[in-house]
């Protein structure tokens, strides 16, 4: 295997795969990437990325299995391989000690931004003085969220208020890579659901991610069909993923 030293080289090796490019975080010291000698597989290790040490895996299983073995020996057992479900299934079957850790989805899109945000949207970036409200709303409506105010890597919060001035929905851009803006922490007040506030925040974040990074992405529970339909309506495509972990 060989270590990849630049984002341009990584992009060439993985055909610009958004998952790998996101996990690489710009290869600015927080992450590392490797390719198999024949360039048929790529592994990217991102430390403390969306609350976990993650190992994004891409490519042909025949090349991916020995590559993941060697990378795990370098980076250690805290890194959780994740990638397309068919590939992770092979890794779990072929690498001793590796066990399945769950399934979820990855959604992303590139392209124009004028087809996402409704013209009447009131969503906007929130000032720092609103972070206390954001924290209360996230704890109430989405306590399991990895993105919360003051968590490292969470960059900026957006929100929308109802007619009474109450913060109705929030969301963040967090752990973004130079070429992939990542959405996280979307939460809607229980008393404001099914009124379009969450859609406004999501559309705002997708638009901003596309403007700044050229791509928008997020992770979603595979059972959350309502969220999938919402993001698919904004042009994001769903991709089934699996994760694995090394047994102690």
In a domain, 229, yes or no: no
In a domain, 201, yes or no: yes
Interstrand relation of 181-188 and 167-174 (parallel, antiparallel or unpaired): antiparallel
Residues 57 and 84 in one domain: yes
Residues 75 and 47 in one domain: yes
CB atoms within 10 A of CB 214: 13
Residues 78 and 137 in one domain: no
- The one-digit pLDDT tens for each residue of the chain (248 residues) are 999 999 999 999 999 999 999 999 999 888 999 999 999 999 999 999 999 999 999 999 999 999 999 999 999 999 999 999 999 999 999 999 999 999 999 999 998 777 776 667 899 999 999 999 999 999 999 999 999 999 999 999 999 999 999 999 999 999 999 999 999 999 999 998 989 999 999 999 999 999 999 999 999 999 999 999 999 999 999 999 999 999 86
Task: Record the pTM.
Answer: 0.94
Residues 97 and 124 in one domain: no
Residues 117 and 31 in one domain: no
Measure the CA–CA gap between 217 and 215, rounded to whole angstroms. Answer: 7
Q: What is the CATH number of the domain that holds 97?
A: 3.40.630
Helices (H) and strands (E) in the chain, counts: 7, 12
Residues 142 and 198 in one domain: yes
In a domain, 228, yes or no: no
**The total number of structural domains that make up the chain:** 2
Supply the range of the domain harboring residue 58: 2-105+242-246
Residues 9 and 75 in one domain: yes
């Amino acid at each position: 295997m060989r270590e990849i030293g630049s984002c341009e080289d990584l992009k060439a090796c993985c055909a610009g795969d958004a998952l790998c490019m996101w996990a690489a975080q710009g290869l600015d010291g927080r992450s590392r990437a490797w390719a198999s000698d024949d360039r048929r597989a790529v592994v990217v290790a991102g430390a403390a990325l969306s609350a976990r040490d993650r190992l994004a895996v891409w490519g042909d299983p025949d090349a991916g299995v020995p590559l993941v073995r060697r990378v795990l020996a370098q980076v250690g057992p805290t890194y959780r391989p994740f990638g397309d479900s068919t590939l992770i299934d092979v890794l779990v079957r072929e690498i001793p000690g590796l066990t399945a850790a769950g399934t979820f989805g990855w959604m992303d899109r590139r392209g124009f931004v004028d087809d996402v945000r409704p013209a009447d949207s009131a969503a906007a970036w929130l000032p720092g003085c609103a972070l206390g409200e954001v924290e209360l709303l996230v704890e109430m409506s989405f306590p399991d969220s990895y993105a919360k105010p003051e968590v490292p890597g969470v960059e900026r919060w957006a929100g929308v208020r109802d007619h009474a001035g109450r913060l109705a929905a929030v969301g963040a851009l967090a752990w973004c890579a130079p070429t992939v803006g990542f959405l996280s922490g979307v939460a809607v007040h229980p008393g404001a659901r099914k009124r379009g506030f969450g859609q406004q925040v999501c559309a705002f974040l997708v638009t901003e991610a596309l403007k700044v990074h050229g791509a928008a992405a997020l992770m979603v529970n595979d059972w959350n069909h309502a969220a999938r339909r919402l993001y698919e309506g904004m042009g994001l495509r769903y991709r089934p993923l699996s994760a694995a972990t090394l047994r102690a």
